[in-house]
Structure 1
C-alpha cells in the first residue's frame, strides 16, 4: 500500500492542532480538503484514526500509534529531499523558492501570494517553512528562507520589507478573564497592566518584543514561554497566560475558551514581506512583485475581514 504524504501531513496537523479548521489554516488548505484527506487515510489503513465527537479532536488508540509511524515517514521523506537538494539543483537548473511564514503570515494575502506565484512560475518548486517568533530576522540572514511573511518590520540593514496588511491590535485572554466582557467594546493599553502576557526567549529580536508588549506598556509577564501561535493559545485556554497580535489572529486561531479583544488606542500594526537586501534571485523579485501587487489590489478591505 502506497501512502500519500499529503494525507500524513493533514493527519498530523489535525492531531497537533486538535481542530480541522486550524489544521487547514496551518496547511493553507480548506477544511473540507483536510477532512477528505483524513477519510482517504482512514480508508487506506482500515481504522478510525481520529475521535471527532468532542473538542478538541483527539487521536484514537490506533491514531496515536499511527502518528508515530506518520512522523517517521515524513521525517524520512524530508531527509531524502534534503539529501538530494544539491543534485536536484544541478539537474533541474535551480533551487526551490523557500517561503517562510510566521504564524498566519499576512492573513488571506499569504496563500493568495503563494498561489499566484505557483501559477506564474509552475516550473519552480515552492517550499513552505514555518517560522517561530524568534526567526523573523535570522531565517533570512542565515539563508534558511528566501522570502518571509513576518511582523513587525525587521530592524536589520541586511533586510528590506514591504508592508502587506495593516490591522488593529488585539489581545487574547481566557474566557474567564476579567477583560473577557470587553470582547465587543474593546479596551485600552492602560487596561493591560495586569495582563500576564506570555514570555519569549531572550534571543528574540527587540523589535518583536516591543511589538508584543505594546512598547513595554503591558508590563506583567506570565511564567509561560511561547514561540508559536499554538503555544500562545495553549497558555491562554489553560488560563496560564495571555497573548497579543493583529485582528486577523482571531480568524485563524479561534480556539474554544479563547476571547479576542480589540485594543482601541494601540497604534495599528502591519505585516510585511521581508527579503534579503540586494538579493538578485529573479524568483525572489517575482514573488515580491506579486505579493505587493496583490496587497494593492486587495486593498484596505482585507484588513476589515
Structure 2
C-alpha cells in the first residue's frame, strides 16, 4: 500500500476539507483526491462522503488502522536508526587510571574512531573486576592486574609505590621510607567484598609474611575517602607514584617506598569481547604505552 494514500486520507479526515489537507501536505488538491480514490479502490469501500466531507462508517473504522500503520512505520525506522548508530565505548577509570596514558589513549581513540561516542565511568576499589564482568564498562584502567580468566589484561604502566600519610605524622617528614617503616601503619579499611588482589596491593601483602595489616576504623573505597581519612590523621593509604600528581591534598603527604616492588596499572577488558571498538582501543593503548611511556612520566 502506498503510504502517500494513507497520509492524504488522514489529512482529509482531520481537516474535513480536501483543499486544507492539500495545503498541509504541500500537495495539489488533485493529487490528494487521486490518493483517496485509489485507496478506496484498493479497499473496495467508500471512506469519505464528499459533500460535505465526512467519514463513512468504513472510514471511521479505517482511521485507527491508518494511524497505527504510520506509527508502526515510524517506530520501525527509529529502531533501525538506533541499531545503526555507533554504541558508546564505556571507559572505566579507577583512581587516576594509568596516569597521563589514560587521556592520551582516549584522545588517540577519538581521532581513530570519531563516530564512536565515549563515556567515562568512575570505578571504586571494589569494582576491580565486577564492572567488566557485569558489563557496566567495556574497558577499564585499574591497578593491580586482576587475576580472573574472564578478564584480559595489558600492563600499561609500571610505577614506584608510595604511602599516603597525614602531614602531622613523623613519617611525613621523610624524603623516602622502606617497607619496614610502613608495614605497621594503620591503613584505611576496605569493604569485605573488595577483590583480594586489590587488598593485597593496598596493604603490601607480599611483604607481610602472612600477617594481617593494622586497620583504621575509617573505611574507604575511593581516593577521596583515603585522602580525607589521612588529612584527619586517622589512617594511611598506599598508591602508585603518579597518584600524588593527580591528588595533591592539604594535610596529606605522599612518601616513596624505596624497596617496595614496582606495581603495574593495566588496561583490563573482557576476554571474550569481540567489539571492534574495544579491540581498537586496546591496540592503541598498548602501542602508546610502548612508545610514549617514558615521555608521559611513567618510567
TM-score normalised by the chain length of structure 1:
0.68
Q: Structure 1 residue 178: deviation in Å?
A: 1.6
Q: 1:205 aligns with which of 195, 198, 206?
A: 195
Of residues 174, 179, 193, the one that matches 2:166 is: 174
| Partner Cα separation in structure 1 for residue 80 and residue 182 of structure 2 | 51
Does the CA contact (< 8 Å) of 2:157 and 2:298 recur in 1?
no
Identify which of 264, 287, 298 aligns with 2:281: 287
Q: CA deviation at 1:92?
A: 4.0
Deviation at 1:133, TM superposition (A): 0.3
2:184 paired with 1:194: yes
Alignment RMSD, CA only?
Answer: 1.8
Shift, 1:212, TM fit: 0.5
Give me the whole-angstrom Cα distance separating, in 2, the residues matched to 1:242 and 1:230: 13
Quick one: structure 1 residues 276 and 176, their matched pair in 2 at CA, closer, same or farther if it must change by over 3 Å? Answer: same
Which stretch shifts more, 87-96 or 231-240?
Answer: 87-96
- Residue matched to 2:127: 135
Q: Which residue of 1 aligns with 2:37?
A: none
User: Tell me, which stretches of 5 or more residues in structure 1 are unaligned?
Assistant: 1-85
Corresponding residue for residue 237 of structure 1: 231
Question: Is 1:155 matched up with 2:147?
Answer: yes
What is the rounded CA distance, in whole Å, between the counterparts of 1:252 and 1:129 in structure 2? 17
Q: Distance in 2 between matches of 1:236 and 1:292?
A: 34
C-alpha separation in 2, matches of 1:155 and 1:181: 36
In 2: Cα distance, 1:259 partner to 1:89 partner: 52
SS of corresponding position for 2:126: coil
Match of 1:146 among 133, 138, 141: 138
Aligned equivalent of 1:71? none
Q: CA deviation at 1:89?
A: 7.5
The aligned residue for residue 96 of structure 1 is 88
Q: Distance in 1 between matches of 2:204 and 2:81?
A: 44
Alignment match, 1:23: none
User: 1:88 Cα deviation (Å)?
Assistant: 9.1
| 1:1-305 aligned within 5 A | 90-182=82-174, 184=175, 186-215=176-205, 217=208, 219-303=213-297
Counterpart CA distance in 1 for 2:219 and 2:283 is 36
Q: CA 1:209–1:289 in 2, change beyond 3 Å: closer, same or farther?
A: same
Q: Deviations over 1:40-95 (max 9, x none)?
A: xxxxxxxxxxxxxxxxxxxxxxxxxxxxxxxxxxxxxxxxxxxxxx9698354332
User: In structure 2, do the counterparts of structure 1 residues 290 and 265 end up closer, same or farther at CA, with 3 Å as the change threshold?
Assistant: same
The total of aligned residue pairs comes to 218
Q: Distance in 2 between matches of 1:148 and 1:138?
A: 11
Max radius of gyration: which structure? 2
Once residues 265 and 120 of structure 1 are traced to their aligned partners in structure 2, the CA distance between those partners, rounded to angstroms, is: 41
Scaled by the length of structure 2, the TM-score of the pair is 0.70
Instruction: Note the C-alpha offset of 1:302.
Output: 3.1
Deviation at 1:225, TM superposition (A): 0.5
